[in-house]
C-alpha cells in the first residue's frame, strides 16, 4: 500500500515538473496531500480556518492564518516562502479555494486541498 502511494506521489511529481511552471491555482486530493506530507520535508501546509476551528483539530502541524482575519495577505507574505509550494485547506474547500487563487496571483505555487479537513478526516478514519 505504501509503495502504491509512493508511486502515485512520484508520478504526480514527474507530471507536475514536466509542465511549464505557471502560477495558477491548482487542486490536490487529500490522498495526494498525504503522499506529500509523508515524503517531503518542510511542507508549507496552510490552514485558513478560524481560531475556533483550529481548536477542534488540524492536519499535521500547519501554518495558521485566518483568511477572514485582519491582514491575511500581510501575514502570508510574512510567514510563507514564495519559492516553495503551499498546500491550503479549510473546513470543506471554499475558503481554501479563495486563498489558493489569491496566493497564486501573488506568485505562490498554491494547491487547494479538495474537501478540506472534513475530507481528510473521512479518508483517515482509523
- Alpha carbons 76 and 18: distance in angstroms, whole number: 28
Residue 111 to residue 80: CA distance in whole angstroms: 14
pLDDT at 61: 93
Output the nine-digit C-alpha cell for 53: 476551528
Position 43 scores a pLDDT of 95
- Residues 6+ positions from 33 with CB-CB distance below 8 Å: 59, 87, 89, 111, 113, 120
The predicted model scores a pTM of: 0.81
- Express each pLDDT in 59-101 by its tens digit: 999 999 999 999 999 999 999 999 999 999 999 999 999 999 9
State residue 35's pLDDT score.
95
Catalytic residue numbers read: 90
Query: If we measure between CA atoms, which residue out of 51, 90, 48 comes closest to residue 67?
Result: 48
Residue 5: the pLDDT is 64
Amino acid at each position: 500500500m505504501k509503495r502504491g502511494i509512493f508511486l502515485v506521489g512520484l508520478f504526480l511529481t514527474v507530471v507536475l515538473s514536466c509542465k511549464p511552471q505557471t502560477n495558477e491555482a491548482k487542486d490536490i486530493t487529500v490522498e495526494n496531500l498525504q503522499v506529500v506530507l509523508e515524503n517531503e520535508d518542510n511542507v508549507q501546509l496552510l490552514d485558513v480556518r478560524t481560531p475556533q476551528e483550529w481548536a477542534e483539530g488540524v492536519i499535521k502541524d500547519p501554518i495558521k492564518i485566518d483568511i477572514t482575519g485582519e491582514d491575511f495577505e500581510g501575514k502570508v507574505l510574512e510567514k510563507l516562502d514564495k519559492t516553495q509550494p503551499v498546500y491550503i485547506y479549510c473546513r470543506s474547500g471554499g475558503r481554501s479555494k479563495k486563498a489558493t487563487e489569491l496566493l497564486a496571483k501573488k506568485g505562490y505555487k498554491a494547491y487547494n486541498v479538495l474537501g478540506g479537513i472534513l475530507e481528510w478526516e473521512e479518508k483517515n478514519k482509523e
